C-alpha cells in the first residue's frame, strides 16, 4: 500500500500506525497537491490499496483495515475526525487564521476524553481499538498535552499507547517533531480545516486544561533567532524623541507627510468617519514619529459649499457663523479622541483663497481650462440654481432607474450623474420640478491631463490600498471627461477670472488644496513639504474612506500634474471600506449608531475607543461596530491580556524588589521568549510601515500573550519563596517582564497615547525610538532602575452597562435577535422580517455573490411563511372580520385603521415593495369590505350607540362612489410616479373623505399620508 | 447542514423511521431509536442503512470496499461540502472538484446510487440552488449527476425541481431572479 501525504501532515502518522496494527506494509510518498501529477488527489493523506482503490478518510481506512470493533469505536472514530481534528487545526492556526475560540473548544473535547477514560481503560472498552490509535495520533503531534493540568486519566492512557511496540516502530521512522496541524493547510485545496466552524459545546466551560500555546511555538525557533535575540538584548542609552517646534522635511531622511480627508463641517462625524480618516491618520502619524521619521499630520474642516449655505438658512445664521459653530464641534471631538494633528485648519482661511486662486491661474495658463456654456437646473420656486446635491430624480444610467438618485451620484449604481441628465428631476427642498437655464462655467480639461496621469498612476499605485487601485483603474478605464470647477453660489472662493466674478469654485476644486493651505498656516516654509527641493523626498500618505478615492487619485493629481511645478503627489492612498453599526448603517436621522460626541458621553475612555476602532478598522472589507465586541475586546484583550501582564510584572517588582528592576540573566527560556517577541515585533513594524493598523494591534497583543504565558509557566511567585538560586531566577523573570512592559508601552503609544503615558509614568520611563530597520527587543530598563507606582490600566465593561448603551444607541435594530424560537407572535415575526429584509438588501448591494446572500433570502422567505401561518393561527384585529362572518362597520374601521398604520410604518421603514405590497393588498381588501359593510349598514338601521345621527343613505352612497372613483384615479396616477401630478388629486380625495366623515361621523383613515411621507 | 433535517430526509429516503433526531451537548447530531442512541452523522447513516432494505441501503453495503468509500464521502460531506459551501473560494473549488469527479462516473461510488450520493446531494443542495444557469452549465457533469438524483421522488421529497435546462433566456431577461 502507498500513503500519499504532504510534509508534516499529522494524519499521515495515523495511517502508518493503523497499517502497522493491521500488519500491512506501507510506503510513504510525500507529494505536493499543486503538482499536476497529483491533481486527482482531493485530500491528503490518501491511502492507495494494493488493488488500486484510493481512500482519503482516516476513519474509513481504520474501519476498512481493522475488522468491526463495535459501534462505540465507530462513534469515536467519527468524533476524532469531525470534532477533534478541526479543533486542533484551529488551535494551531497563526496569523489571520489564529482562532481564540479554539482553546476552550479543545479543552471541552479533552475533558470529554479524560472523563471517559476515568471509567474505561480504552475508548471503546477494555481493548485497544483503532479509535484509540486515531485519537492518540491526533494528540501526539504539536505536543498538545504538554503542560496540561487535571487530565491524569488521559495522560495515563496516552502513556500506555505510546509505549506500544507498533507505535514506537512508527515513531522511529516518523519523528513527532516533524509533524504539525499547520501542515493540514497544504493537505487539500480548501485551505485545510479552517473553513469548519467549531462547534461550541453547550456544556459549561471545561476550565483550563491544556497549556496556552507557546510550548509548541517555541519548538519552531531557530538558533539564529536565539542568537539575534541574545545580542540585541543589551542596554543602550535610549535616543530621546526630540520633536522640533516646526517639523520640516530634511534631505537624506525619511519625510512623511500625512493628511486625513477633510471632514465636511456640517456633519457630526460618526465612528466610521473617525476610524476611516482622522484616527487612522493619527495612529499612523504617531507611529511614524516614534520611528524617528520627520512627520507632519495635517487636517481640517471642509467648509465651503451649498450644504453650509443651506444649513445657515435653516438656522438663521450666516455661513461663517455656522462654520465657526461646527468647527468647534469637530475640533472638540477630535481633541477628545486624542487626535494629535500638527495643524487642524479650515478651508475658509485667507491662505486657502490665495492658494486656490493661484493654482487656478497656473492651471489656466498651462492651458487646462475650458469655458463652456452649461445648462443648469434652476428652481423657480426657490429662485436659485440648484447644486447637484439639491436635485433628485431617476437615475439615467441604463439598467438602474433608481428613483432617488442624487444630482451628483446615484446611490444605487454608484455611478456619477450629471444633474441635468436626471429623468424627472425635482428640487430637494421644495419638490417642484426645476427648469433648465444656461450659464458659462469653467471646466478643467481632464482628458488633456490623462496621459500624464496614467503614467503617474502606473508608477505610484503600488503603495495604495487595493480598493484605491481598483477604483482608480475603473475611472481610467471609462476615460476621463472635463469636469466643471465653478458654481453659481456665494459661499465659496471667488473665481479670479474675467466674467466669472460672481461665481465660486466648486468644493472639489478647492478642498484638496486645503491640505496645502493648512500646511501654510502651520509654517511659512510649507513649500518644503509640498514642493520639496531636489534631493528631498517627501512621502505623502492620504487617509480616507473609499468614496473619496477618485478625488485624491484622479482629480487632484491631474490638477497638480497640469500645474507642473513639482508638487508632492500622493504615494500612499490609504482607503478604508465602510464601518457598519451592529450590521446596519449609521443613521443620524434615525438615531442609530454612535457619533463622535456620544462616544464621550458613554464614559468609556477615549483610548479604549481608539483601541477598539483600530482593531475593528475596515481594512480590506467592511466591518461592523458591535457593543458586545467592544466589551469583549476590552475585557479579554486589554484587561485580561495586556493589563494583567503589565500590572503583574510591575506589582511583583514593587513588592518583592523594592521597586528596583532586578538584573536579567538570560537562560534558554528567556531567549525563546525574546525570539518569539522579536517575531511579533517585526510583524508589528511591518504592518505599521504599511499602515495596516489592525494587524499591528494583533502583533502587539501577541507580545503580551507571550509574556503572560511565560509568567504562567515560570511561576515567579513560587520561586520567590524558594532558595537563593530560585530567587535569582524569579528576579530574572520579573526583570524581563518589566522590560517587556516597557516595550509594550512604546508599541501601544500610537494606539492609546494617554494609556501609554500612564504606563510610562508607572515605569518611570520615557518613550524611545522604535528601530524600524532592526526591530529587536532591547534592554530598556537596566538593573537598578526605579519604577513608579503601578496601578491597573483598564477597567472592566460590565454586560449590563453594555446592554444599556446598546439600547440607547440602537434605534430599532437592537430588537432583532428574537427571531429564533418557534412560536413567535405576529409582531415579532414582522420585526424579524423587516430586519432580515434589510440584511438581504444590504448583502445584495454589497456583493454579487449569490452563494452569500441566497441563504439569507431563504431565511427571509421562511420567515414570511411563518408569518403567514402565524397570522392565520392567531386571529389578530386584522383577520378577525373575515372569520366572524359579517363584521360590524366599527370593527372594520378599526381594522382599516390598524392596517393603515401598519402599512405606513412598513413603508417608512423600507422601500422594498415586496415587503409592504402584501399589507397594502390586505388594506385595500379591508376597505372594500368596509365599503360593502357601510352600504348594508346605511341601508339597515344603525344602532344608536355606534352613530349619533343616522346619515343620509343616498348622500353617503354617492360620496362613497365618488371616493372610490377618485381613489382609483389617484392610484393610477401614483403608479406613473410624478408627485406634482398626483398631489392635487390626493387633496381632492382627502376632502371627499372628510365630507364623508362628517356625514357618517366616522374619521376617515388616510393611507395617502403614508405614501407622501415615504419620500424624504 | 449535515444535521437533524438531513438525517430525517435520508431516513425517509431509505424508508426507515428517523426516530428521535436532535443535537447533543457537543452540538453533534444524535439519533435515538428503540432506546439506542447513536452519535454522529456518519454513524447514524450507517445504522439507518443497516435497518433499511431499500436499494440505496443494499448498494451501500454491497462490499467492504464500497462501504469504505461510502463512508469517506459521507465524511467529506460533513467536513468539506457542508461548511465549505459558505466560503466563496472553498465552494468554487468544491464545485470544480465534483465536476471533475463526475466526468467518467454516474455515481460517487460504484455504478449505483449509495448513501454517499445522498449525503453529498443534501450537503451541496443550497450551493447548486444558488448557481446561475451559466454556472450550472460550466459544471456540466456535476449538474448531470445532481439533476439525475433530483428526479428520484424519494430524494427530491417534494421540493421544487432545480432548473438545469441549457437553453437559457435569462441573458436578456436581466431583471429576473429565481
Question: CATH code at B63?
Answer: 1.20.1050.10
Which candidate in B40, B44, B100, B177 is best for mutational testing of the A interface (most A CBs within 10 A)?
A: B40
Burial class of residue A908 in the structure, from the number of CB atoms within 10 Å of its CB (0-12 exposed, 13-18 middle, 19+ buried): middle
Residue A997, pLDDT score = 63
* Closest C-alpha among A559, A561, A566 to residue A528: A566
Identify the DSSP state of B15: T
* Closest C-alpha among A812, A810, A815 to residue A825: A815
ipTM, 2 dp: 0.92
Residue A315, pLDDT score = 86
Vertex A734: Cα angle to A732 and A739 (nearest 5):
95
Residue A609, pLDDT score = 94
- Tell me how far CA of residue A1009 lies from CA of A287, A866, A952, A1005, in angstroms: 56, 30, 28, 10
Residue A321 has pLDDT above 80, yes or no: yes
In a domain? residue B29: yes
The answer to whether the Cα torsion of A169, A174, A180, A182 is positive or negative is negative
CA distance A632 to A478: 45
SS3 for A849-902 is CHHHHHHHHHHHHHHHHHHHHHHHHCCCCCCHHHHCCCCCHHHHHHHHHHHHHH
Residue A625: phi and psi, rounded to 5, are -85, 135
Give mean pLDDT, residues A84-101: 78
For A984, the grid coordinates are 392635487
Check if B3 contacts A (Cβ < 8 Å). no
- Tell me how far CA of residue A838 lies from CA of A165, A626, A832, A848, A861, in angstroms: 62, 17, 10, 16, 13
Of A108, A190, A199, the CB nearest to B84: A190
Identify the DSSP state of A638: I
Q: How would you classify residue A264: left for phi > 0, otherwise alpha for psi between -120 and 50, otherwise beta?
A: beta
In this structure, the strands spanning A2-5 and A46-48 are antiparallel
For A835, the grid coordinates are 430586519
CA distance A381 to A115: 81
Distance from B69 to chain A by nearest Cα, in Å? 7
Distance from A503 to chain B by nearest Cα, in Å? 44
Residue A222, pLDDT score = 80
Give mean pLDDT, residues A820-831: 56
Residue B16 has pLDDT above 60, yes or no: yes
Cβ distance B84 to A59 less than 8 Å, yes or no, reads no
For A938, the grid coordinates are 346605511
In a domain? residue B91: yes
In this structure, the strands spanning A255-260 and A391-394 are unpaired
Which residue range is the domain that position B134 belongs to? 4-156
CA distance A379 to A157: 86
In a domain? residue B175: no
User: What percent of chain A is modeled with pLDDT above 70?
Assistant: 82
| Contact between A828 and A837 (Cβ < 8 Å) | no
Contact list, B136 vs chain A (CB under 8 Å) = none
Residue A941 has pLDDT above 60, yes or no: no
In a domain? residue B72: yes
| Contact between A633 and A626 (Cβ < 8 Å) | no
Q: How many beta carbons lie within 10 A of that of residue A240, not counting itself? A: 10
| Contact between A645 and A704 (Cβ < 8 Å) | yes
pLDDT band at A621 (very low <50, low <70, confident <90, very high): confident
Residue A391: phi and psi, rounded to 5, are -115, 140
In this structure, the strands spanning A623-625 and A579-581 are parallel
For A780, the grid coordinates are 530598556
CA distance A584 to A567: 41
Question: pLDDT for A861-876, tens place per residue?
Answer: 777 777 676 666 554 4
As a dihedral over the C-alpha atoms of residue A628, residue A629, residue A634, residue A638, rounded to 10 degrees, the angle is 150
What chain B residue is nearest to A54 in terms of C-alpha separation? Answer: B69
Domain count, chain B: 1
Of B65, B75, B90, the CB nearest to A81: B75
Residue A501, pLDDT score = 87
- 3-class secondary-structure state, position A702: helix
* Closest C-alpha among A427, A436, A559 to residue A505: A559
Question: pLDDT for B40-56, tens place per residue?
Answer: 999 999 999 999 999 99
CA distance A478 to B18: 59
Give mean pLDDT, residues B161-170: 69
In a domain? residue B174: no
Residue A816 has pLDDT above 50, yes or no: no
Residue A415, pLDDT score = 77
In this structure, the strands spanning A255-260 and A538-545 are parallel
Check if B5 contacts A (Cβ < 8 Å). no
Residue A1016, pLDDT score = 37
Cβ distance B69 to A849 less than 8 Å, yes or no, reads no
Question: pLDDT for A209-268, tens place per residue?
Answer: 666 554 456 667 788 888 899 999 988 877 766 777 889 999 999 999 999 999 998 888
Give mean pLDDT, residues A757-767: 94
- The count of CB pairs under 8 A between chains A and B is 118
Identify the DSSP state of A535: T
Residue A36, pLDDT score = 80
Strand runs (DSSP E) across A167-317, as ranges?
255-260, 294-301
- Kindly report the average pLDDT of chain A as a whole number: 83
Strand runs (DSSP E) across A933-978, as ranges?
none
In this structure, the strands spanning A423-427 and A391-394 are antiparallel
Residue A974 CB partners (closer than 8 Å, separation 6+): A982, A1011
List residues of A whose CB lies inside 8 A of any B CB. Answer: 42-43, 51, 53, 55-57, 59-61, 63-64, 71, 74-75, 78-79, 81-83, 86, 108, 112, 188-191, 193, 195-197, 199-203, 399, 849-852, 854-855, 858
What structural domains does chain A harbor? 2-195 (1.20.1050.130), 271-369+448-586 (3.40.50.620), 607-612+627-799 (1.10.730.10)
Cell 468554487 maps to which residue? B92
Cβ distance B88 to A112 less than 8 Å, yes or no, reads no
Give mean pLDDT, residues A887-915: 67
CA distance A240 to A572: 28
Of A71, A188, A849, the CB nearest to B43: A71
pLDDT band at B98 (very low <50, low <70, confident <90, very high): very high
What chain B residue is nearest to A851 in terms of C-alpha separation? Answer: B130
Residue A979, pLDDT score = 59
Q: Which of A522-531, A782-791, A947-956, A986-995 has the lowest mean pLDDT?
A: A947-956
Q: How many beta carbons lie within 10 A of that of residue A239, not counting itself? A: 10
CA distance A227 to B38: 55
Residue A245, pLDDT score = 82
CA distance A509 to A489: 14
* Closest C-alpha among A217, A235, A678, A297 to residue A686: A678
Please tell me whether the overall predicted TM-score, pTM, comes out greater than 0.90 for this model: no
Residue A370: phi and psi, rounded to 5, are -120, 145
Residue A845 or residue A638, greater confidence? A638
In a domain? residue B161: no
Question: pLDDT for A174-189, tens place per residue?
Answer: 888 888 888 888 888 8
Residue A773 CB partners (closer than 8 Å, separation 6+): none
In a domain? residue B132: yes
CA distance A212 to A713: 10
The answer to whether the Cα torsion of A717, A720, A726, A727 is positive or negative is positive
Question: pLDDT for A1006-1015, tens place per residue?
Answer: 444 433 433 3
Check if B32 contacts A (Cβ < 8 Å). no
SS3 for A291-339 is CCCEEEEEEEEECCCHHHHHHHHHHCCCHHHHHHHHHHHHHHHHHHCCC
Contact list, A201 vs chain B (CB under 8 Å) = 25-27
Residue A614 CB partners (closer than 8 Å, separation 6+): A275, A279, A280, A283, A693, A694, A696, A697, A751
For A679, the grid coordinates are 517575531
CA distance B127 to A854: 9
pLDDT band at A394 (very low <50, low <70, confident <90, very high): confident
In a domain? residue B164: no
CA distance A337 to B2: 48
Of A61, A190, A399, the CB nearest to B80: A190
For A550, the grid coordinates are 477618485
Residue A560, pLDDT score = 95
Q: How many beta carbons lie within 10 A of that of residue A807, not counting itself? A: 12
Distance from A645 to chain B by nearest Cα, in Å? 33
Contact list, B94 vs chain A (CB under 8 Å) = 190
Residue A844 or residue A446, greater confidence? A446
CA distance A259 to A365: 28
Amino acid at each position: 500500500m502507498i500513503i500519499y501525504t504532504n510534509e508534516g501532515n499529522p494524519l499521515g502518522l495515523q495511517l502508518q500506525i493503523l497499517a502497522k496494527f493491521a500488519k500491512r506494509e506501507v510506503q510513504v510518498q510525500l507529494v505536493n497537491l499543486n503538482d499536476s501529477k497529483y491533481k486527482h488527489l482531493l485530500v491528503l493523506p490518501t491511502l492507495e490499496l494494493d488493488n488500486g482503490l484510493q481512500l482519503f478518510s482516516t476513519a474509513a481506512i481504520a474501519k476498512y483495515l481493522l475488522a468491526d470493533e463495535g459501534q462505540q469505536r465507530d462513534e469515536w472514530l467519527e468524533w476524532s475526525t469531525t470534532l477533534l481534528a478541526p479543533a486542533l487545526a484551529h488551535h494551531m492556526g497563526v496569523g489571520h487564521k489564529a482562532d481564540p475560540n479554539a482553546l476552550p473548544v479543545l479543552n471541552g473535547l479533552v475533558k470529554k476524553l479524560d472523563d471517559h477514560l476515568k471509567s474505561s481503560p480504552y475508548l471503546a472498552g477494555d481493548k485497544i481499538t483503532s479509535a484509540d490509535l486515531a485519537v492518540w495520533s491526533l494528540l501526539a503531534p504539536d505536543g498538545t498535552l504538554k503542560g496540561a493540568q487535571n487530565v491524569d486519566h488521559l495522560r495515563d492512557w496516552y502513556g500506555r499507547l505510546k509505549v506500544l511496540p507498533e507505535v514506537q516502530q512508527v515513531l522511529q521512522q516518523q519523528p513527532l517533531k516533524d509533524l504539525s496541524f499547520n501542515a493540514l493547510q497544504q493537505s487539500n485545496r480548501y485551505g485545510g480545516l479552517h473553513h469548519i466552524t467549531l462547534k461550541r459545546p453547550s456544556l459549561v466551560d471545561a476550565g483550563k486544561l491544556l497549556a496556552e500555546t507557546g510550548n509548541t511555538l517555541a519548538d519552531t525557533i531557530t538558533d539564529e533567532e536565539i542568537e539575534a535575540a541574545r545580542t540585541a538584548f543589551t542596554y543602550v542609552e535610549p535616543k530621546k524623541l526630540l520633536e522640533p517646534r516646526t517639523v520640516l522635511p530634511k534631505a537624506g531622511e525619511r519625510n512623511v507627510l500625512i493628511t486625513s480627508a477633510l471632514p465636511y463641517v456640517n456633519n457630526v462625524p460618526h465612528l466610521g468617519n473617525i476610524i476611516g480618516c482622522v484616527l487612522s491618520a493619527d495612529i499612523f502619524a504617531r507611529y511614524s514619529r516614534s520611528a524617528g521619521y520627520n512627520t507632519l499630520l495635517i487636517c481640517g474642516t471642509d467648509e465651503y459649499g451649498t450644504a453650509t449655505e443651506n444649513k445657515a438658512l435653516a438656522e438663521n445664521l450666516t455661513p461663517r457663523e455656522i462654520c465657526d459653530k461646527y468647527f468647534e464641534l469637530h475640533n472638540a471631538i477630535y481633541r477628545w479622541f486624542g487626535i494629535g494633528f500638527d495643524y487642524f485648519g479650515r478651508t475658509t482661511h485667507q491662505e486657502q483663497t490665495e492658494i486656490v486662486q493661484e493654482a487656478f491661474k497656473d492651471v489656466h495658463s498651462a492651458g487646462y481650462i475650458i469655458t463652456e456654456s452649461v445648462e443648469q437646473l434652476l428652481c423657480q420656486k426657490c429662485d436659485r440654481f440648484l447644486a447637484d446635491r439639491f436635485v433628485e430624480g431617476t437615475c439615467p444610467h441604463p439598467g438602474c432607474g433608481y428613483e432617488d438618485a442624487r444630482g451628483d451620484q446615484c446611490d444605487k449604481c454608484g455611478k456619477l450623474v450629471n444633474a441635468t441628465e436626471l429623468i424627472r428631476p425635482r428640487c430637494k427642498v421644495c419638490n417642484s420640478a426645476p427648469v433648465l437655464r444656461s450659464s458659462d462655467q469653467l471646466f478643467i480639461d481632464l482628458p488633456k491631463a490623462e496621459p500624464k496621469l496614467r503614467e503617474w498612476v502606473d508608477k505610484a499605485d503600488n503603495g495604495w490600498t487595493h480598493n484605491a487601485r481598483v477604483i482608480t483603474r475603473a475611472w481610467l478605464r471609462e476615460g476621463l471627461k472635463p469636469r466643471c470647477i465653478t458654481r453659481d453660489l456665494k459661499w465659496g472662493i471667488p473665481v479670479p477670472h474675467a466674467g466669472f466674478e460672481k461665481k465660486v469654485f466648486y468644493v472639489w476644486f478647492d478642498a484638496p488644496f486645503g491640505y496645502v493651505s493648512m500646511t501654510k498656516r502651520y509654517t511659512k516654509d510649507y513649500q518644503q513639504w509640498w514642493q520639496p527641493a531636489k534631493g528631498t523626498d517627501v512621502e505623502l500618505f492620504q487617509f480616507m474612506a473609499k468614496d473619496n478615492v477618485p478625488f485624491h487619485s484622479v482629480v487632484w493629481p491631474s490638477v497638480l500634474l497640469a500645474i507642473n511645478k513639482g508638487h508632492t503627489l500622493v504615494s500612499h492612498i490609504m482607503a478604508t471600506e465602510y464601518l457598519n453599526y451592529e450590521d446596519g448603517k449609521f443613521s443620524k436621522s434615525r438615531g442609530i449608531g454612535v457619533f463622535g460626541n456620544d462616544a464621550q458621553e458613554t464614559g468609556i475612555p477615549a483610548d479604549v475607543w481608539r483601541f477598539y476602532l483600530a482593531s475593528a478598522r475596515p481594512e480590506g472589507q467592511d466591518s461592523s461596530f458591535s457593543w458586545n465586541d467592544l466589551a469583549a475586546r476590552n475585557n479579554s484583550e486589554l484587561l485580561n491580556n495586556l493589563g494583567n501582564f503589565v500590572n503583574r510584572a510591575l506589582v511583583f517588582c514593587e513588592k518583592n524588589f523594592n521597586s528596583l528592576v532586578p538584573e536579567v540573566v538570560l537562560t534558554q527560556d528567556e531567549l525563546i521568549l525574546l525570539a518569539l517577541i522579536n517575531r511579533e515585533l517585526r510583524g508589528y513594524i511591518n504592518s505599521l510601515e504599511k499602515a495596516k493598523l489592525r494587524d499591528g494591534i494583533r502583533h502587539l497583543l501577541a507580545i503580551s500573550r507571550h509574556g503572560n504565558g511565560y509568567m504562567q509557566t515560570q511561576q515567579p511567585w513560587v520561586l520567590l519563596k524558594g532558595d537563593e538560586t530560585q530567587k535569582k531566577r524569579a528576579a530574572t523573570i520579573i526583570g524581563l517582564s518589566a522590560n517587556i512592559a516597557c516595550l509594550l508601552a512604546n508599541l501601544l503609544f500610537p494606539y492609546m497615547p494617554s494609556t501609554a503615558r500612564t504606563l510610562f509614568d508607572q515605569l518611570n520611563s520615557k518613550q524611545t525610538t522604535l528601530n524600524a530597520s532592526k526591530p529587536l527587543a532591547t534592554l530598556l530598563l537596566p538593573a537598578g532602575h526605579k519604577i513608579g507606582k503601578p496601578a491597573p490600566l483598564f477597567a472592566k465593561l460590565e454586560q449590563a452597562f453594555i446592554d444599556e448603551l446598546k439600547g440607547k444607541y440602537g434605534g430599532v435594530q437592537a430588537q432583532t435577535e428574537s427571531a429564533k424560537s418557534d412560536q413567535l407572535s405576529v409582531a415579532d415575526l414582522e420585526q424579524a422580517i423587516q430586519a432580515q429584509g434589510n440584511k438581504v438588501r444590504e448583502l445584495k448591494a454589497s456583493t454579487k455573490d449569490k452563494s452569500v446572500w441566497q441563504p439569507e433570502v431563504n431565511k427571509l422567505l421562511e420567515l414570511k411563511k411563518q408569518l403567514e401561518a402565524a397570522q392565520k393561527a392567531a386571529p389578530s384585529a386584522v383577520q378577525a372580520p373575515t372569520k366572524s362572518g359579517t363584521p360590524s362597520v366599527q370593527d372594520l374601521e378599526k381594522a382599516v385603521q390598524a392596517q393603515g398604520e401598519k402599512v405606513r410604518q412598513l413603508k417608512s421603514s423600507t422601500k422594498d415593495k415586496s415587503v409592504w405590497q402584501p399589507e397594502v393588498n390586505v388594506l385595500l381588501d379591508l376597505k372594500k369590505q368596509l365599503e360593502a359593510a357601510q352600504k348594508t349598514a346605511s341601508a339597515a338601521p344603525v344602532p344608536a350607540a355606534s352613530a349619533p345621527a343616522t346619515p343620509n343613505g343616498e348622500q353617503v352612497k354617492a360620496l362613497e362612489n365618488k371616493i372610490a372613483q377618485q381613489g382609483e384615479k389617484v392610484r393610477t396616477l401614483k403608479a406613473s410616479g410624478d408627485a406634482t401630478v398626483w398631489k392635487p388629486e390626493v387633496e381632492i380625495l382627502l376632502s371627499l373623505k372628510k365630507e364623508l366623515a362628517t356625514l357618517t361621523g366616522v374619521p376617515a383613515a388616510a393611507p395617502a399620508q403614508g405614501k407622501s411621507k415615504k419620500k424624504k | 447542514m449535515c444535521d437533524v433535517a438531513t438525517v430525517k430526509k435520508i431516513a425517509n429516503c431509505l424508508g426507515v423511521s428517523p426516530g428521535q433526531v436532535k443535537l447533543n451537548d457537543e452540538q453533534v447530531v444524535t439519533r435515538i431509536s428503540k432506546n439506542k442512541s447513536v452519535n454522529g452523522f456518519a454513524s447514524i447513516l450507517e445504522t439507518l442503512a443497516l435497518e433499511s432494505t431499500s436499494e440505496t441501503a443494499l448498494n451501500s453495503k454491497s462490499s467492504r470496499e464500497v462501504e469504505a468509500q461510502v463512508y469517506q464521502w459521507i465524511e467529506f460531506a460533513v467536513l468539506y461540502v457542508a461548511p465549505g459551501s459558505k466560503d466563496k473560494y472553498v465552494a468554487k473549488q468544491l464545485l470544480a472538484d465534483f465536476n471533475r469527479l463526475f466526468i467518467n462516473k454516474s455515481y460517487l461510488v460504484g455504478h449505483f446510487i449509495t448513501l454517499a450520493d445522498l449525503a453529498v446531494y443534501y450537503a451541496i443542495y443550497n450551493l447548486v440552488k444558488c448557481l446561475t444557469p451559466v454556472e450550472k452549465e460550466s459544471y456540466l457533469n456535476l449538474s448531470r449527476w445532481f439533476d439525475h438524483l433530483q428526479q428520484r421522488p424519494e430524494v427530491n421529497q417534494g421540493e421544487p425541481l432545480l432548473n438545469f435546462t441549457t437553453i437559457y433566456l435569462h441573458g436578456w431577461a436581466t431583471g429576473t431572479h429565481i
